[in-house]
Amino acid sequence: MFRVLVLFYFLLAAVCQAASRPNVLVILCDDLRPDALGCYGSKHVKTPNIDRLAAEGVLFQNSFCTTSLCSPSRASILSGLYAHTHGVTNNFTEYPSAMKSFPQVLHDSGYATAYIGKYHMGEENDEPRPGYDWFVTHKGQGKYFDTEFNLNGQKREVIKGYYTTIVTDMTLDWLKKQSSEKPWCMFLGHKAPHSFYTPEPKYEHAFDDVRVPYPATAFQLDDKPKWIKERLYTWHGIYGPLFEWRKKFPDDRPEAVKDFEAMVHGYWGTILSVDDSVARLRTYLEETGQLDNTIIVFMGDNGLLEGEHGMVDKRTAHEASLRIPIVARFPSLTKDAKKIPQQVLTVDIAPSILELCGAPTVPNIHGKSWVKLVQSGDPAWRKSWFYHYNYEKQFPYTPNVRAIRTDEWKYIHYPHGNGKPDRHLAELYNLKDDPGETTNLIGKPELASKVTELQAELAKLMAATGLTPATDKMPLDEGVKNELPDAEIR
Q: What is the pLDDT of residues 18-70, one digit of tens each?
A: 458 999 999 999 999 999 999 999 999 999 999 999 999 999 999 999 999 99
Q: Are the CB atoms for 354 and 360 separated by under 8 Å?
A: yes
Q: How far is CA 144 from CA 125, 149, 198, 314, 442, in A?
A: 19, 12, 6, 20, 43
State which amino acid sits at residue 481.
K
Q: How far is CA 175 from CA 127, 192, 282, in A?
A: 21, 22, 12
CATH number of 386-465: 3.30.1120.10
Sign of CA dihedral 251, 256, 257, 261: negative
464 Cβ contact list (under 8 Å, min separation 6): none
With pLDDT > 70 as the criterion, what percentage of the chain qualifies?
Answer: 96
CA 165 – CA 473 distance, rounded (Å) = 41
* pLDDT for 487: 81
CA 158 – CA 162 distance, rounded (Å) = 12
Measured distance between the N- and C-terminal CA atoms of the chain, rounded to whole angstroms: 66
Task: Check pLDDT > 90 for residue 105.
Answer: yes
153 Cβ contact list (under 8 Å, min separation 6): 127, 128, 135
* pLDDT for 17: 45
The model's pLDDT over 445-468, given as tens digits with 9 standing for 90+, comes to 999 999 999 999 999 999 999 999
**Total length of the chain:** 490
The model's pLDDT over 172-222, given as tens digits with 9 standing for 90+, comes to 999 999 999 999 999 999 999 999 999 999 999 999 999 999 999 999 999
**Which among 183, 153, 187 has a CA at the least distance from the CA of 167?**
187
In the chain, residues under CATH classification 3.40.720.10 are 23-203+256-382
**Which among 312, 292, 301 has a CA at the least distance from the CA of 121?**
301
Q: How far is CA 27 from CA 36, 277, 374, 483, in A?
A: 16, 10, 20, 35
The model's pLDDT over 108-154, given as tens digits with 9 standing for 90+, comes to 999 999 999 999 998 889 999 999 999 999 999 999 999 999 999 99
CA 116 – CA 170 distance, rounded (Å) = 7
Q: Where are the alpha helices (DSSP H) in 189-341?
A: 226-231, 257-287, 319-322
457 Cβ contact list (under 8 Å, min separation 6): 384, 404, 406
The model's pLDDT over 298-331, given as tens digits with 9 standing for 90+, comes to 999 999 999 999 999 999 999 999 999 999 999 9
In the chain, residues under CATH classification 3.30.1120.10 are 386-465
Compute and round to an integer the Cα radius of gyration of the chain. 23
440 Cβ contact list (under 8 Å, min separation 6): 223, 224, 425, 427, 428, 429
Q: Which CATH superfamily is domain 23-203+256-382 in?
A: Alkaline Phosphatase, subunit A (3.40.720.10)
DSSP string, 175-221: HHT--TTS-EEEEEE--TTPSS----GGGTTTTTT---PPPGGGG--
Is the peptide bond prior to 213 cis by the omega test (within 30 degrees of 0)?
no
